[in-house]
Amino acid sequence: MESRRTVLLLPGQGAQRERMAAGLYGAQPEFTARMDEFFAASGSAGSRLAEQWLRPAPNPDMDTAEVAQPLLLAVGHALGRAVGAAARPAHILLGHSVGELAAACLAGVYRATDLGALTAARSRALHGSGHGGMLAVAAAPHELPHDLGPVSVAALNGPRQTVLSGPPAPLAAAHKRLHAMGRTVRALRSGHAFHSPSMAQAAARFGRELARLRPGAAHTTVISSRTAAPVTASQARDAAFWADQLALPVRYWPALKGILDAEGTEPGLLLLDAGTDRSLSAPARHHPAVRNGSSLIVPLLAPARQTGGHADLTAFEEALAVLEG
């Protein structure tokens, strides 16, 4: 039977965990080399990020964008490179929020040597902007109240998985109101109102810095979680395209559903989940292509409660066995 194509799913803010993927560090050569490259390219900030990454839970600093986002980007990029070196590169890349930048780096839009500069630019752009938070709500957007004030829909993560974003006080009021309505609501690990209008100034600053890195053409298909469509050649070269996603909603589920719909039933896909919380692949379980077994979900890392130790290497080796099978 024809081999399945692979889709690498790369996580964003809220999916970070202490010591995520650290069980591969020192054990998987390509992953280790790419993480060391990133830390070295980041200078003194790299040493601090390495220390934060390897610190065990609980580590409240992992909730800050200045720590979480560089590490999510670096770990996602290193995992993608490790999969490519040990088996084969993914055919399709789909990233959530900052995971989309990891996809851009893996696709060659930005050079691997730009990772340190890219994460530093993003941290500078976030400074003093968009403070607030995010809520995950078990509901579709049309099931939510329309009068939530400055709280807006930030992400469509599944058929009935919506993320809201906004300033602290209005977001707290929305949390209380939705809970009273009987909705399941969970605060995400974020100190910013990502993917909301309050991030517009940060997005503009980030775009100006990204332009200096001179993005190029992608050599791998990237499905944008902003447009839910393949990134075009002109979009890939447009720094504002990558920067503006800071202030625009994430359409992750429409993007993932579109990939699964387009593939049909045979031979199906291998969905490589690079997160530890399985949130990237969870909505795919509702899709017929996964329910009937033609497309498979393949975790690359141990689940959140086990990540950071030998279980990461076991999970990664199990994933490689599926890819090589």
Cα–Cα dist 98/73, whole Å: 6
What local confidence, expressed as pLDDT, does residue 130 receive? 80
**Domain containing residue 291:** 5-129+196-324
DSSP 136-148: EESS-GGGS-S--
CA distances to 153, 240, 259, 297, 324 from 320, in Å: 37, 36, 22, 13, 6
* Predicted pLDDT at 266: 63
Residues 215 and 307 in one domain: yes
- 8-27 per-position pLDDT tens digit: 999 998 899 999 999 999 99
SS3 content of the chain, % helix, strand, coil (to 5): 50, 15, 35
pLDDT in tens, 214-268: 999 999 999 999 999 999 999 999 999 999 999 999 999 999 999 999 976 568 9
Q: Say how far apart CA 253 and CA 281 lie, in whole Å.
A: 10
Q: Are residues 243 and 313 located together in one domain of the fold? A: yes
pLDDT reading at 183 higher than 90: yes
Where residue 178 sits, what CATH number does that domain have?
A: 3.30.70.250
Average pLDDT value for the chain: 95
Distances (CA, A) of 276 to 19, 20, 78, 200, 303: 10, 7, 15, 30, 5
Whether residue 178 is found in the same domain as residue 251: no
Confidence of residue 1 (pLDDT cuts 50, 70, 90): very low
Domain-ending residue, one of 187, 206, 228: 187
